[in-house]
A and B are shown apart, each in its own frame.
Chain A
């Protein structure tokens, strides 16, 4: 059974750093894209970026380039999303999702349960 399990909810202060994770199981992790999707409270889905664990090819939405870092470690079957300095506006649910080998745009067939990140002073 394919599963993506994300790390737990986080409460942080502005300016702090954070790294959240997404662990895949039940499939060949290196051979599928992992995307990250933001959903701010009461808002829609936003495509943040995507990484191919097999060769670490990474692509970012222009809206998130420079704001976050996406990475993967195929030896741990895990992908990561990190911030060096959080802002209150980063408060959101962050989902990871699996994309097919041939498509780095989306077609996300399996999703993690979401990680709620709250940034507040």
Chain B
């Protein structure tokens, strides 16, 4: 089982805000990165570090962290944001990585 836990699914109305969380002890020491994956496609990095977006990622995506919880927020969700989202950080040893369990975001 993963050391990073996410809610299996969340729903958001078009244009509204949704927050996806990722919990794990290692997040007290390390930032999480976040990936979006659409069916049949490779994952795409959307947030890394404290709150950094790679080139081309819309500014409606933002990241934050507090204690053992990292969060990805989509402000003004669009239909194209419907996807699976995964967090990623170090494991409890700090010497390897681990992915979260994944959250499916449904845009209504």
Contacts and interface: CB of A to CB of B under 8 A. Distances in A.
Contacts of A107: 33, 45, 48-49, 88
The majority secondary structure among interface residues of chain B is: strand
B101 A108 contact: no
B61 interface: no
A: interface residue count bin: 20 to 34
B7 to A, nearest CB: 13
Contacts, number: 71
B43 A45 contact: yes
B88 A47 contact: yes
A49 B30 CA distance: 18
Given A45-B102, A95-B42, A109-B45, A104 B96 contact: yes
Interface of A: 35, 37, 44-47, 49-50, 59-61, 95, 97, 104-109, 111-114
